[in-house]
Structure 1
Amino acid sequence: MKAVRMYQYGGPDVLTYEDDVPPPVAGPDTVLIRSVATSVNPIDWKVRSGVRQKDFPLQLPAILGKDVSGVVMAIGSEVRNFRPGDRVIAMADATYADVVAVPEALLTHLPDGVDAIDAAAIPLVSLTGDQLVRVAAKVAPGWTILVSGALGSVGRAAVHVALKEGAKVIAGVRGRQLEEAEALGAHAAVALDDEDAMARLEPVDAVADTVGGETAARLLRKVKAGGRFGYASVLPDNAAKEAGVEVSRVFAQPDPSRLRAFADDLRDGTFTLPVSRHMPLSDAAAAHALLEKGGGGKIVLTM
């Protein structure tokens, strides 16, 4: 099969495209997918570089990737809900390859009307945003929640879920993005880089933070006593000082039912996740280099 492997930690150049990698074998409860696309996420380059080696150790040589969209090509003897030819999507492992083995329990059908290539952009980021809101921030109907980095991929998913959960949502963005943020459907928007706007911001019930750094530290101080602060990046330095605020980090876990809900909303046009560029799998190293520079948007790798 075709795959991108890494034999050591390092820069983008450690990613090697190969067209003769032994394909995975379907176990009893496993589905083999002929992938049409995967996508590149920040966690990919952080794992590749070794920055997150402690949290996500690899057995080298390794294949990166957490998103897959494609068609079932073979199933294990105990698989009951999928058949060859089914269009599917999943948050899985080792997805920088044109054949991916996924346990049946992690897989969901891709609804008709959804483009299979662009659908590969949604698994990890959508589930991160979902769990950031529902699990870490534990948002409740009627709460006011601020989502930082609301125009990013995870932020968009978090805004979408918070609105569906019945919360009042404030989209936290840069000042130059305020007009663009209106399309998210949030109840309000605030410029996180505007000191005056931040000073005027009333305390909120919860924050779903996708930014980290000093922005996260400032937002933590805006959470009401008894409120919740969920984060997906780095723990703010002042986390231990804010008494009465529950602080929780999210590491996204596979959840096929929630992923299917995102796919359905994508089909219905109620959720959008812009893809900035499509690149062939063989250009994975270049995609990593672009992502590390920041601001490049979501990149999908096609097979």
Structure 2
Amino acid sequence: MRAIVLETAAGTPVWRERHDLAVPEPDATEIVVEVRAAALNRADLDELAGTYASAPRRTGRPHLVGSDLAGVVTAVGSAVSGTRPGDRVMAMVDGAFADVVALDHRIALPVPERIDWAAAAALPSALMTEYDALIDQGQLAAGQRVLVTAATSGVGLVAIDIARWAGAAQVLATTTSARKELLLTTRGAQAVNTRTDDLAETVLAATRGAGVDLVIDHVGGALLDGCIAATRLGGTVVQVGRTGGHTSTIDVDRLAYRRVRLIGTTFRTRGDTERARIAEDIRTRLLPAVADERIRPHVHRVLPLDQASRALTELAEAASTGKLVLDFG
């Protein structure tokens, strides 16, 4: 079967397409999925940079890359219930870029009938990451104000939708591109251009000096201090991504004065049991909103698998909005 694997050439991590890998067989608690589409994520760039920390991988299996897949179940393990061959599923996994993938059945999400393969592949990491950040970590309550940074990314757009689904009274969302502001407003958010406007000043003005209750920060770097300054007294900042850099300098006096809860979160070091718990919450709570498109992905471009390197380059250039998806058809 075909797969994109991470190998080392002259001491440097590289992606390689291979066609000689065996089709996996399911363990007792696994399902096997024939992949129809898979989406790229920033984590793919981190893997190539050698900065991606993940849970231990299964020994004896090659290092497949990719996190988001959608496809059809072709086989199930002896201890699997509730999933059967022929089911349409999507999942956040380690090693999505392959024709066939074996995964823990508990982390598979059913694909609603009206969602196509590209849209389904663009959803799992966004749903898992943003539900965890907004609801589990951020404890978002109806009527609160939310700020989402790097909001025109695939996960950022879904974060806006989930915040509105949860009853947020106001959602502010950042971009560095004037042409992307319209995308944010059409999703029901107030756009904040951090290239031209001061983040904290703009957010405080929009909230009559109070600040937001919750920040979901996908940027890190120098922007983190501005996120803290934009948060109300006793509010929360959930630090999710580091597209702006892995180190930050913050005013700890302001952090203390505003009594801000600063929470770091990631899925890279979580095992399947914890992922399964979040997946179950999404199945029971979020999927109805996905099915009727209150929560929806934004697919920027669909490319064939043999153009994976081109897709990776586009991702690194950060010119796209939403998700880049590989077609396995």
Q: Name the structure 2 match of 1:225.
A: 233
Counterpart for residue 237 of structure 1: 249
Structure 2 letter corresponding to 1:257: E
Query: Which amino acid in structure 1 is aligned with residue 234 of structure 2?
Result: G
Q: Describe how 1:64-103 pairs up with structure 2 within 5 A.
A: 64-103=65-104
Which residue, out of 302, 310, 316, partners 1:278?
A: 302
Counterpart AA for 2:174: G
CA offset at residue 262 of structure 1? Answer: 5.0
Any conservation in 2 of the 1:136–1:231 contact (CA below 8 Å)? no
Task: Please name the residue that 1:170 is paired with.
Answer: 172
1:192 is matched with 194
| Corresponding letter in the other structure for 1:251 | T
Distance 2:9 2:240 in 1: 23
In the alignment, which residue of structure 1 is the partner of 2:289?
265
Q: Deviations along 1:31-84, whole A, 9 cap, x unmatched?
A: 0111111111010120122022x4567779410111111111111111111111
Contact 1:192 1:198 in 2 (8 A): no
Residues 167 and 85 of structure 1: CA distance in aligned 2, closer, same or farther (over 3 Å): same
Q: Following superposition of structure 1 onto structure 2, how do residues 128-207 of structure 1 map, counting pairs within 5 Å?
A: 128-168=129-169, 169-174=171-176, 176=178, 177-186=180-189, 188-195=190-197, 198-202=200-204, 203-207=211-215
User: Normalising by structure 2, what TM-score?
Assistant: 0.83
Aligned length: 301
Aligned Cα root-mean-square deviation (Å) = 2.5
What is the DSSP-based 3-state SS (H/G/I as helix, E as strand, rest coil) of the residue aligned with 2:5? strand
Match runs of 1:94-133 below 5 Å: 94-133=95-134
Distance 1:92 1:200, change over 3 A: closer
Contact map agreement 1:136 1:229 (CA 8 A) in 2: no
- State the alpha-carbon separation in 1 of the partners of residues 9 and 250 from structure 2: 32
Structure 1 residue aligned with 2:208: none
| Deviation (angstroms), 1:237 | 2.1
Show CA shifts across 1:256-282 (max 9, x none): 335445554343232232211112222
- After TM superposition, give the deviation of residue 192 of structure 1 in Å: 2.4
Q: 1:74 to 1:276 in 2, by over 3 A?
A: same
* Contact 1:12-1:288 within 8 A present in 2 as well: no
* Paired amino acid for 1:153: G
Give the TM-score normalised by the residue count of structure 1: 0.89
Distance in 1, matches of 2:193 and 2:70, equals: 35
Q: CA 1:259 to 1:279, structure 2 compared with 1: closer, same or farther past 3 Å?
A: farther
The equivalent residue for 1:41 is 41
- One-letter code of the match for 2:324? I
Gaps of 5+ in 1: none
Contact 1:126 1:157 (C-alpha < 8 Å) held by counterparts: yes
CA contact (8 A) 2:199 2:226 kept: no
> Is contact 1:12–1:286 with CA below 8 Å preserved after alignment?
no
The code of the aligned residue for 2:35 comes to: S
Structure 2, unaligned stretches of length 5 or more? 205-210
Structure 1 residue 221 displacement after superposition: 1.3
Q: Show the counterpart of 2:327.
A: 302
Corresponding residue for residue 32 of structure 1: 32
Asked if structure 2 preserves the Cα contact closer than 8 Å seen for 1:121 and 1:300, the reply is yes
**Aligned counterpart, 1:19:** 19
How far apart, CA to CA, are the structure 2 residues paired with 1:61 and 1:80?
28
Q: What secondary structure sits across from 1:44 in the alignment?
A: helix
- 2: distance between equivalents of 1:28 and 1:190? 49
- The Cα of 1:11 is off from its aligned counterpart by 10
Corresponding position: 1:249 with 2:249:
no
Task: Answer whether contact 2:112 2:290 (CA < 8 A) is retained.
Answer: no
Residues 57 and 29 (structure 1), Cα distance of their counterparts in 2 relative to 1, 3 Å cut: closer
CA distance in 1, matches of 2:106, 2:221: 36
